[in-house]
Amino acid sequence: LARIFPLAGVTTNPSIVAAGKTPLDELLPALHDALGGKGRLFAQVMATTAEGMVEDARKLRAIINDLVVKVPVTAEGLAAIKMLKAEGIPTLGTAVYGAAQGMLSALAGAEYVAPYVNRVDAQGGDGIQTVIELQQLTRRSQRCWPRALKPRVRRWTACWQAASPSRCRWTWRSSLLPL
């Protein structure tokens, strides 16, 4: 696919990896090679404690050193995101079901947020509205964020505006939003 389509990155999760039955130490390098040196590779931690997530992240980064680590945005996940940020390991806050949850992941130090648009819709919510609220929340919060965070929020806002999700609701099912 990378030969035909312009790919910005590849993401995977534990259930996809388990279904494929290819060990991570083989799968991640293959995915990284498929990107041809372009785009980001994302892989998720499995542990449920902050310390375990940090250890998982280190193991994933030992396989692919420029990998972005996906961390579920739970209380333990937020603690892990903060610890990984301190180590210079980039993260994606995943399993985000609400704007406030996404904002917390950004404040903890996540470089990306992955709202579960399709799952929010399946549960009777409005996934696109959740993303819009996250965008609005980050805009309002820019005033009180440290200077270092403001450029990331502006970059996220520009990426979001360029995506124009309101015009493609029927295809907009999952999103990786850079902050």
- List, for residues 147-172, the tens digit of each pLDDT value: 444 444 444 444 444 444 433 332 23
Distance of alpha carbon 79 from alpha carbon 157, whole angstroms: 25
Q: What is the 3-state secondary structure (H, E, C) of the chain?
A: CCCCCCCCEEECCHHHHHHHCCCHHHHHHHHHHHCCCCCEEEEECCCCCHHHHHHHHHHHHHHCCCCEEEEECCHHHHHHHHHHHHHCCCEEEEEECCHHHHHHHHHHCCCEEEECHHHHHHCCCCHHHHHHHHHHHHHHHHHHCCCCCHHHHHHHHHHHHHHCHHHHCCCCCCCCEEC
Mean pLDDT for the chain overall: 82
Q: Specify the pLDDT at position 97.
A: 95
Q: Specify the pLDDT at position 110.
A: 95
Q: Specify the pLDDT at position 49.
A: 98
Of the candidates 21, 70, 82, 85, the residue annotated as catalytic is 70
Give the global pTM. Answer: 0.78
Look up 70 and say whether it is catalytic: yes
